[in-house]
Amino acid sequence: DAGVIQSPRHEVTEMGQEVTLRCKPISGHDYLFWYRQTMMRGLELLIYFNNNVPIDDSGMPEDRFSAKMPNASFSTLKIQPSEPRDSAVYFCASSLAPGINYGYTFGSGTRLTVV
């Protein structure tokens, strides 16, 4: 397995534009997580899915953020409209289970810059 695959690796967009980040989890992993890394708060959980169903989206900062998982092998995180303060590295991770005894496997991240 190639691991968790995220695309694009880098995204530069203008304020107000729509941005879509993509993630392919490891096959067989039932849980998928979207994190945002910032200097001040480290890795913040935005949302996670279990078997393609959103379980906890309390970390999604605003209505401008939305995430979908149409099938077990694909998820998207969309920001519309994007703002400069959304600039960060966004990580997707997948796991067999959300907590104990199971480490998460992270993708390489998408560095988003909103100008």
Closest approach of Cβ 63 to another protein, in Å?
Answer: 21
Under the criterion CB under 8 A, does residue 30 sit at the interface with another protein?
no
Q: Please choose, out of 16-24, 64-72, 76-84, 93-101, the segment that lies near another protein by the rule CB under 8 A.
A: 93-101
CB-hemisphere CA count at 13 Å for 41?
12
Tell me which of 26, 32, 93, 114 binds another protein, using CB under 8 A. Answer: 93
Sheet architecture: strand order including 65-71: 5-7, 19-24, 74-79, 65-71
For residue 89, the cross-strand partners are 37, 111
Q: Which is nearer to another protein, 18 or 85 (CB)?
A: 85
